[in-house]
Amino acid sequence: MSARIPSRFAPFATVLLLAASASACRDEAFTEPSSSVAHQAHVGARETRGVLATIVEFAGRVLDTPLGEQPRITPSMRIESPSETGRVVANRPVTIRVRYANFDNQPALRTPNAGATLGSEPQVLTDGFVQGHIHGYLQRIDRGGAMPDVNATSFCVLERIVERHGYSGVAEGECPAVPAGEYRLSAEFQTNSHTAILKDGPRATPTADIIMVRVR
């Protein structure tokens, strides 16, 4: 099955995901793409030990990393702050607060240097729940209706655990200041190596929340 690659995986072009079972596969860390390397990834499939897997040729190297195990239940979240009707002050850090459920939120376990380690580890579970962290993004919206830049205007990891009740809780983080304008503010669950998480099935709802905010 082929799918369009999410924007944070740029410069990937295509992803093929395959569920298979058999031999082991190796882990190699991503390298940062250089200006002399075409921003193109060639993706294929390889048999693994009962987990989803992908093979990616990235910047001249091959990364063969299992995507990991599917959770028993897909986590869910809701952005609590800011709100679509609330005030976001221009040129000041933006605090994003998210309430989540069915997720082992462990921001301290994320791999360092996200660009160099993106996708370098398979998704892992704790008691059947995905282990990882939460990203926050702000993307400026063009009034003319043009698609927003795929690169976030402002980005942060929601590192502070405000509440924790088993595998539910509240997390927040500070994203860098943005100028006045209209923005799409989003939050998304991530694996320890900064990739989108695997869901428990195709009918599970998206693993992110999005609101529109006006920064004044």
Cα–Cα distance for residue pair 14/158, rounded to 1 Å: 29
Is the model's pLDDT at 102 over the cut of 90?
yes
Cα–Cα distance for residue pair 72/181, rounded to 1 Å: 40
Q: Which amino acid is at 95?
A: T
CA dihedral 96, 99, 104, 105 (to 10 degrees): 20
pLDDT at 128: 96
Cα–Cα distance for residue pair 143/183, rounded to 1 Å: 10
Q: Pick from 179, 41, 176: which is nearest to 119 by CA?
A: 41
Res. 74 pLDDT band, cuts 50 70 90: very high
Domains of the chain by residue range? 2-68, 76-215
Instruction: Confirm or reject CATH 2.60.40.10 for domain 76-215, answering yes or no.
Output: yes
Bigger pLDDT: 171 or 10?
Answer: 171
Cα–Cα distance for residue pair 139/212, rounded to 1 Å: 10
Cα–Cα distance for residue pair 129/99, rounded to 1 Å: 16
pLDDT at 206: 87
pLDDT at 14: 31
Q: Pick from 72, 49, 67, 60: which is nearest to 1 by CA?
A: 67
User: pLDDT of 14-51, one tens digit each?
Assistant: 332 323 323 333 333 333 333 323 333 334 444 444 45
Bigger pLDDT: 177 or 60?
Answer: 177
